[in-house]
Every structure is written in C-alpha cells, then in structure tokens.
Amino acid sequence: MVLSPFRHPADTLSFANEVLWHYRRDPVTGRQVHQRRVPAPTYTLRCFVLARAVRQFHAHARFDSAAPALDEGEYRRRVREVIRSNPRTRRPADARVLFPGFACLRDFSQRWERLLKAEAGGAWRSYLQRGHWRMIFPFSRTGQAKEAERLVRAVHTGEAVVAHVFTFPALTLNHALVLATATETPARVTFEAYDPNQPNTTVALTFDRDRRQFTLPPVDYFIGGPINVYEVYAGFLR
C-alpha cells in the first residue's frame, strides 16, 4: 500500500509535550545538568504518546475540510477509534476514520487540543512502550549503520516513522521523534523530524557514515551529541 508522505507540520499535533526541567551544559564539567521548571508544566512525559498518536492518525485517519463539521461527542468517538488502532498497521484510504471540517491533523489539534490530550493517553504509555527493552542491550556501530539504512527506506515509503532516540545507561536523553524526510550525501544522512517537545519546528537527526554514529543537535531538553537510535512501532517486539 502506498501512503501519502508524512508532512510537517500538516500531519503533526499543534501542542507540545512540555519539559519538566531546564537543561544546560555545566561550563566546568561539560556534563548536562538540570533544574525543575517553575511553575511546573501540566502536560509532560508524553513524547511517545504524541509520537504514537501522530503515527496512528497518519495511518488510520483522513480529513476533509469541505465536509460539515461534527459535534464534540462525535469527534471524541472518532479520536478514540484512531487511538485504539494498531500503530503497527495501516488502513486503506476508504476505510480510514473521517474527520470532516478540517484539512489536516494540525488544524484539528488547534481546535480540539483539550480533547486530544484527554484521549491520547497518560504518561504511563511512554514508560511502557513495548520496544523499550531494546535500549538496555549494546548497540554496535555496524548495527547503527544498518538501522540508518532501514530508517531511510521506511521514510521513503511515506510512513510516519517513530524513532526512539536515547543515551544509555546515563539517560540524559530518552525521547521519541517522528521522521519526515531523509536526505543522503556520501558523508551523512540527515533526517528532518517532528519533535513532540517543539512541534512548530523540525529537528535534524544526523547519521555520520564514517563514524557510523547518530547525533542530535542541542535542544531545550538535551545538550547535543552522540546518541543511539532505533525504530519503534515497526514490529511485534518494537
């Protein structure tokens, strides 16, 4: 089945997974340090929740801005149907859940943010994502090179590819991105991704072919540097 390409921002959510902490690099040690944000944010620890929801809407929903809008109760029922769908499968176009009155997920989420936050799921879904077991085992450079190739192929199918990006055992990063594009050169692969923490801009996930290493630039929740990556929602064990 050929999918419409995953697009940023149209196929993403308008609201953010808020960050609990302020992160910065210690000028003496060079290590990442943090302090709690005040006032405390109210919608947190849901990066995997939002990444999964974006993937589900891309694979199981469709939008029609010309069709008459529905009431809140009917939209809620349809959101629940999408969120209960298997993120590892996709529906044919004529079987997808229709959201009339809106052109895309971004538009729908701007109007119905409260509803989507209530129905997408709690923070526990981020902690209990099925594929988390993988990050505790070693990642070889050869393995990461193969993963980069798999991610490129998956992005080119048009899927909303969810990548688990992390450091381990020091969890200075434990996050989910949704890859939108993949640009290849002889030296590197650059993936432009939807970031649930900063939905209004993309983040560049880079793979260096010589070093066989993924890196993420400095962002609000990570000081930047080498990381490991693997795709989730891509099979029974992930």
161 and 175 in a single domain? The answer is yes
37 and 108 in a single domain? The answer is yes
Helix residue ranges, H only, the chain: 47-60, 72-83, 105-111, 113-120, 124-127, 141-156
61 and 137 in a single domain? The answer is no
Residue 192 belongs to some domain of the structure:
yes
52 and 71 in a single domain? The answer is yes
Span 145-155, pLDDT tens digits: 999 999 999 99
Of 76, 99, 127, the last residue of a domain is: 127
Residue 5 belongs to some domain of the structure:
no
Of 101, 127, 153, the last residue of a domain is: 127
Strand partners, 193: 179, 203
Token pair for 17: 């997974």
Number of domains in the chain: 2
- In the three-class reduction of DSSP (H, G, I as helix; E, B as strand; rest coil), residue 209 is classed as coil
116 and 37 in a single domain? The answer is yes
- Contacts for 78 with CB less than 8 Å, ≥ 6 apart: 61, 70, 97, 98, 99
Q: Is the pTM of this model over 0.75?
A: yes
123 and 136 in a single domain? The answer is no
Residue 121 belongs to some domain of the structure:
yes
Residue range of the domain that includes 208? 130-232
183 and 138 in a single domain? The answer is yes
171 and 224 in a single domain? The answer is yes
- In the three-class reduction of DSSP (H, G, I as helix; E, B as strand; rest coil), residue 221 is classed as coil
> 232 exposed, middle or buried (CB, 10 Å; 0-12, 13-18, 19+)?
buried
pLDDT in tens, the chain (238 residues): 556 899 999 999 999 999 988 788 888 888 888 888 889 999 999 999 999 999 999 999 999 999 999 999 999 999 999 999 999 999 999 999 999 999 999 999 999 999 999 999 998 777 677 777 788 899 999 999 999 999 999 999 999 999 999 999 989 999 999 999 999 999 999 999 999 999 999 999 999 999 999 999 999 999 999 999 999 999 876 7
Residue 38 belongs to some domain of the structure:
yes
Q: How far apart are CA 216 and CA 225, in angstroms?
A: 6
CATH of the domain at 146: 2.30.30
Of 105, 127, 149, the last residue of a domain is: 127
143 and 123 in a single domain? The answer is no
Q: How far apart are CA 85 and CA 164, in angstroms?
A: 20
Token pair for 86: 């298997």
Residue 8 belongs to some domain of the structure:
no
Burial letters 76-94, b for 16+ CB under 10 A, else e: bebbeebbebebeebbeee
Span 54-71, pLDDT tens digits: 999 999 999 999 999 999
105 and 149 in a single domain? The answer is no
136 and 171 in a single domain? The answer is yes
43 and 122 in a single domain? The answer is yes
Q: What is the 3-state secondary structure (H, E, C) of 89-119?
A: CCCCHHHCEEEECCCCHHHHHHHCHHHHHHH
